[in-house]
Amino acid sequence: MAFELPNDFRCPISLEIMSDPVILQSGHTFDRVSIQRWIDSGNRTCPITKLPLSETPSLIPNHALRSLISNFAHVSPRTQQEHSQQSQSQALISTLVSPSSSNASKLESLSRLVRLTKRDSLIRRKVTESGAVRAALDCVDSGNQVLQEKSLSLLLNLSLEDDNKVGLVADGVIRRIVAVLREGSPDCKAIAATLLTSLAVVEVNKATIGSYPDAISALVSLLRLGNDRERKESATALYALCSFTDNRKRVVDCGSVPILVEAADSGLERAVEVLGLLVKCREGREEMSKVSGFVEVLVNVLRNGGLKGIQYSLFILNCLCCCSREIVDKVMREGVVGICFGLEDNESEKIRRNATNLVHTLLGNPMNS
């Protein structure tokens, strides 16, 4: 945005913005420092009119101009842009919440609000306080795929504010998310799963989402049937939810373990991280021990995975080996002890510790993980 102070704010002598404007008896205004220097140099004429001045010219403070300059200068380019954006957002909100607005008008408003709320916390709060959340939720329910996607994106942006997370759940966003996870377009499903992850940052929301009918099962179904993006976002949401202890059994009961193992085998490292949380509950360990080829999948992650995958695979194997001699034998046959020795110099302290713990478990000297 162009930003230029009016020329009248500049001293006629220095051409700089005046900090202390004063009026000379000729009626013209100068910055005090500049005109005082002019007078002290022996000049007794007005620099502009060239009319004579008194022997001791009086300099009258121009308070009105000084106030104008001060107020104008405080409106920086960024501030002007913010004011403009806030004005825009108010008009867009009005269009969105108006019952008489067409779908096309609502879509335009949603698209622009998504852009405005992506990085601006102030506008996110303004949108939330304006009643626009209800209108966005109605758009999710509209059955219009494009409106649904934009409204979910707006709700996702609004959820970036911690103060909004509980409020969105209270407004009924979970019901809409579950419906989208079941029947929405691929893009809408991915955004809906991401929105769940954002909401699950707050501990109370983890419990609320976990206990909501079909919320977890919808994520597990998306993990099984979705495209790469959907599977990644659903696994991330499950990981966020499983950090709450009570949700782990719920996730296991939805038949997630074999689906997570298959996802891990296909290279989705986040699935290994979810399994690393599920192994902490008895039901999770029991289900993992039933999955054919599970140990081989984890060993493959140890050999070829990223740091997080390796860390969680070591942890899972150690938990399972502490509970099952049969799994110890499988792990030993896969040469895991040698792999662990090779990880002793790994850059990750957690990997080194988990590898050491697993070796002690395998060799009959169990340690606390």
- What average pLDDT is seen over the chain? 90
- Per-residue pLDDT at 39 exceeds 80: yes
Distance CA 131, CA 154 (A): 13
Q: Using DSSP bridges, classify how beta strands 21-23 and 60-61 pair: parallel, antiparallel or unpaired.
A: antiparallel
Distance CA 172, CA 175 (A): 6
Tokens at 179, concatenated: 């419906």
Q: Using DSSP bridges, classify how beta strands 60-61 and 29-31 pair: parallel, antiparallel or unpaired.
A: unpaired
**307-342 pLDDT tens trace:** 999 999 999 999 999 999 999 999 999 999 999 999
- Per-residue pLDDT at 186 exceeds 90: yes
Produce one character per residue of 197-235: b if its CB has 16 or more CB atoms within 10 Å, e if not.
bbbbebeebbbbbbeeeebbbbbbbbbbebeeebbbbbb
Output 272 or 3, whichever has higher pLDDT. Answer: 272
- Per-residue pLDDT at 366 exceeds 70: no
Average pLDDT over residues 124-150: 92
Q: What is the pLDDT of residue 85?
A: 61
Q: What is the pLDDT of residue 122?
A: 83
Helix (H) or strand (E) holding 129: helix 121-129
Candidates 28, 55, 60; CA nearest to 42 is 55
Distance CA 18, CA 14 (A): 9
Average pLDDT over residues 351-355: 96
Note whether 146 and 153 are within 8 A (CB): no
Q: What is the pLDDT of residue 1?
A: 38
Q: What is the pTM of this model?
A: 0.76
